């Protein structure tokens, strides 16, 4: 297979885990390039359901090597727990998991800081996952972060941790009036974690570039979604990393010229977790119905997801900034019982209709969606095995989505199991 970047084209939770699992059968390497254990990628296998937070979803295929790239922020405790969980289920990661020595670490003070900032009166509430993602990336940008490579030079690690705590403890004490962190506890815990993860740590940029020379194929696994990207998303209601396809080069050390095909994953409707504008959000009654049918609860935090109609303005913008060449639509079956289905084709603001996604979250909050209404297909699609056998109205709906976002749909998912996946190549 050609190198492929799989990116979420909405606000995350598009069902990328299942799609990566399917595509990674043909990939030599599957690589995470951003985010951390804020992600929750669900993969349903014969032996049970797995929710992966850090380890790439390619781990279920024995021949596939999995890489956590330099652009990821790593909570080593979470990583070790995930390795153990997989091994308990008989999935060995030894010799198949590689972690970048350049990746930045998440420390306990990042997690606490994340939660304190969220709860602080007067600060903007983002609705973060509370995993310390923003504060760790914040330290990276401030050049006060600590990377995995630092753990293997005890003097450097001691020095950096002391400096970091000096500043953090002042903030905890003076601004938040909470207990200071103890240097010795963190220092000794992280040296223990360092020992455990050592067999996996290497220069993953070299590993991947050597693989490219040997003509191996790489699948880049995006976490979150385009509209949570720190630059292209609905700032400030975003995560702190480069979710978009360009992030795959930055976050791995694979040159942009080698990224290959860009595939966007979208849900047949829209969901969002956390705060921030959401023009097509359902009324409470429909929200409840779709949330229940689509099991729309966060895979990491268990929070109920906000649900709404498919927003073509939002996805078209994603297709543009990612260079999406193919679309995968997931969870179409969740719409099976609806008599009418709406698609947002523009926004009304200040008496005008706009068709481009606005940069300002304040403006987006005031936008009213302009809808076109489609008749529902009112039949069960979850057991359909061939695209040609899909109800005609569902095909019409998909054709319209494809036309509006200006990208062809190549794959359709109508349930969490692998056999509930239809290829559309024979669609014409």
Q: CB nearer to ligand IMP: give 122 or 302.
A: 302
Bridge partners, 30 (sequence order): 66, 219
Confirm if 271 and 15 have CB atoms less than 8 A apart.
no
Candidates 128-136, 193-201, 213-221, 338-346 — which segment interacts with ligand IMP by CB under 6 A? 128-136
Footprint (CB under 6 A) of ligand IMP, residues 168-227:
223-224
Contact status: 131 vs ligand IMP (CB under 6 A): yes
Bridge partners, 340 (sequence order): 375
Contact status: 37 vs ligand IMP (CB under 6 A): no
Nearest approach, Cβ of residue 32 and ligand IMP (Å): 12
Contact status: 338 vs ligand IMP (CB under 6 A): no
Determine how many CB atoms are found less than 10 A away from the CB of residue 62: 8
The token pair that represents 256 in the structure block: 């942009």
Based on the residue annotation, tell me whether 13 is a catalytic residue of this protein: yes
Candidates 105-113, 129-137, 393-401, 414-422 — which segment interacts with ligand IMP by CB under 6 A? 129-137
- 193 vs 235: CA distance, rounded Å: 34
Candidates 67-75, 117-125, 126-134, 252-260 — which segment interacts with ligand IMP by CB under 6 A? 126-134
Nearest approach, Cβ of residue 378 and ligand IMP (Å): 30
HSE-up (13 A, CA, CB side) for residue 127: 18
Which one is catalytic: 41, 110, 227, 232?
41
Nearest approach, Cβ of residue 275 and ligand IMP (Å): 6
Residue with tokens 């740590």: 201
Contact status: 244 vs ligand IMP (CB under 6 A): no
In order of 47, 187, 193, 345, the CA distances from 137 in angstroms are 35, 20, 20, 35
Confirm if 326 and 261 have CB atoms less than 8 A apart.
yes
Candidates 120-128, 261-269, 329-337, 356-364 — which segment interacts with ligand IMP by CB under 6 A? 120-128
Q: CB nearer to ligand IMP: give 40 or 346.
A: 40
- 94 vs 100: CA distance, rounded Å: 15
Q: CB nearer to ligand IMP: give 318 or 394.
A: 318
Size of the site for ligand IMP (CB under 6 A): 20
Beta-strand (E) ranges in 303-420?
Answer: 306-308, 310-311, 326-330, 340-349, 352-354, 368-375, 409-413
Instruction: Find how far residue 218's CA is from the centre of its chain.
Output: 18
Contact status: 247 vs ligand IMP (CB under 6 A): no
Contact status: 138 vs ligand IMP (CB under 6 A): no
Contact status: 55 vs ligand IMP (CB under 6 A): no
Q: CB nearer to ligand IMP: give 38 or 330.
A: 38
Bridge partners, 48 (sequence order): 45
SS3 73: strand
Q: What backbone phi and psi angles, to 5 degrees, belong to 262?
A: -115, 120
Nearest Cα to Cα of residue 105 among 166, 36, 154: 36
Footprint (CB under 6 A) of ligand IMP, residues 3-32:
12-13
Q: CB nearer to ligand IMP: give 39 or 314.
A: 39
Residues near ligand IMP (CB under 6 A): 12-13, 38-40, 126-129, 131, 133-134, 223-224, 228, 237, 239-240, 273-274
Give the residue numbers marked as catalytic: 13, 41
């Amino acid at each position: 297979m050609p190198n492929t970047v799989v990116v979420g084209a909405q606000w995350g939770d598009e069902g990328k885990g299942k799609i990566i699992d399917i595509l990674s059968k043909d990939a030599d390497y599957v690589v995470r390039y951003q985010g951390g254990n804020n992600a929750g990628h669900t993969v349903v296998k014969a032996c049970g359901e797995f929710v992966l937070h850090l380890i790439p979803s390619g781990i279920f295929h024995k021949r596939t090597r999995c890489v956590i790239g330099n652009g990821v922020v790593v909570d080593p405790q979470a990583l070790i727990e995930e390795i153990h969980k997989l091994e308990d289920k008989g999935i060995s990661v030894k010799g198949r998991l590689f972690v970048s020595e350049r990746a930045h670490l998440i420390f306990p003070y990042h997690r606490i800081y994340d939660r304190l900032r969220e709860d602080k009166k007067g600060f903007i509430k983002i609705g973060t996952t509370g995993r310390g993602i923003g504060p760790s990336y914040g330290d990276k940008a401030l050049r006060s972060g600590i990377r995995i490579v630092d753990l293997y030079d005890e003097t450097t690690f001691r020095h950096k941790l002391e400096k970091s705590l000096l500043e953090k403890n002042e903030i905890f004490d003076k601004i938040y009036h909470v207990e200071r962190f103890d240097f010795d506890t963190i220092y000794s815990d992280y040296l223990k974690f360092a020992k455990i993860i050592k067999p996996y740590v290497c220069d993953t940029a070299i590993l991947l570039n050597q693989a490219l020379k040997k003509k191996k194929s790489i699948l880049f696994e995006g976490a979150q979604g385009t509209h949570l990207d720190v630059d292209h998303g609905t700032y400030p209601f975003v995560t702190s990393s480069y979710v978009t396809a360009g992030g795959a080069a930055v976050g791995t050390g694979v040159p942009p010229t080698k990224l290959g095909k860009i595939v966007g994953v979208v849900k047949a409707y829209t969901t969002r977790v956390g705060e921030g504008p959401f023009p097509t959000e359902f009324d409470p009654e429909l929200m409840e119905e779709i949330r229940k049918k689509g099991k729309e609860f966060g895979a990491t935090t268990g929070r109920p997801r906000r649900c709404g109609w498919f927003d073509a303005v939002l996805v078209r913008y994603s297709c543009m900034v990612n260079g999406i060449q193919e679309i995968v639509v997931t969870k179409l079956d969740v719409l099976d019982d609806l008599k009418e289905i709406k698609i947002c084709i523009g926004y009304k603001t200040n008496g005008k209709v706009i068709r481009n996604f606005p940069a300002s979250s304040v403006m987006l909050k005031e936008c009213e969606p302009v809808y076109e209404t489609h008749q529902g297909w009112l039949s069960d699609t979850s057991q359909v095995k061939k695209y040609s056998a899909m109800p005609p109205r569902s095909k019409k709906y998909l054709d319209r989505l494809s036309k509006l976002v200006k990208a062809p749909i190549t794959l359709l998912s109508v349930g969490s199991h692998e056999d509930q996946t239809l290829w559309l190549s024979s669609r014409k």
